[in-house]
Amino acid sequence: MQILHFDIKPHNILLDENFIPKVSDFGLAKLYPIDNSIVTLTAARGTIGYMAPELFYQNIGGISYKADVYSFGMLLIEMT
């Protein structure tokens, strides 16, 4: 199984005592099989500003791990 987090943002990245980042808050996360690369959703999930466009517009295409990659990219842009 794989996990789609759907809410990667600065508030959900915690640092341990060695400053190693840990992802937290899996309340919106969804499990899906490894062999299935596309997930279906009935409603948008996440935080505005970090959500991938495909989460807003269902006609763009299926939801995949790329939605979390987009959110991570937005997090990195905010850090610069």
Known catalytic residues? 7
Q: 53-69 as b/e, with b when 16 or more CB fall inside 10 Å?
A: ebbeeeeeeebbeebbe
pLDDT score of 61: 61
The H or E element containing residue 67 is: helix 66-79
Q: Under CATH, domain 2-79 is a member of which superfamily?
A: Transferase(Phosphotransferase) domain 1 (1.10.510.10)
Q: What is the pLDDT of residues 29-47, one digit of tens each?
A: 988 888 777 777 767 788 9
* pTM for this predicted structure: 0.84
Q: Report residue 13 CA to chain centroid gap.
A: 12
Structural domain boundaries in the chain: 2-79
Residue 73 has pLDDT above 90, yes or no: yes
